[in-house]
Amino acid sequence: MKIVQMWLLASTLVAFVGQRNHIYGGWDADIDNFPFVTGIRANGSESENFCGGTLIAPQYALTAARCLEWYLYDVHVFLRSRLI
């Protein structure tokens, strides 16, 4: 039993330490290459997007329904931001 517990602890630590905040094999994208990508933030948040979207018309962005489940009228949509 102790071996299993130690193995689970070690696996958790390795997974936690090994996490990265980018996509495997990805690269930093230039804003000019993806001008249609949006970031969606809760009103008052200066730096944390909770969802993304795609600009589909000058005044409309398309995103997943789950993104707006709780924030229907209290969100900001950002374009051309390095924080997306």
Q: What is the pTM of this model?
A: 0.56
Structure tokens at 45: 């948040």
Q: pLDDT by residue (tens digit) across 1-52?
A: 677 666 666 666 555 555 555 567 777 778 888 888 888 887 776 667 788 8
Task: Give the pLDDT band (50/70/90) at residue 57.
Answer: very high
Question: What are the percentages of helix, strand and coil residues in the chain, rounded to 5?
Answer: 30, 25, 45
What structural domains does the chain harbor? 25-84 (2.40.10.10)
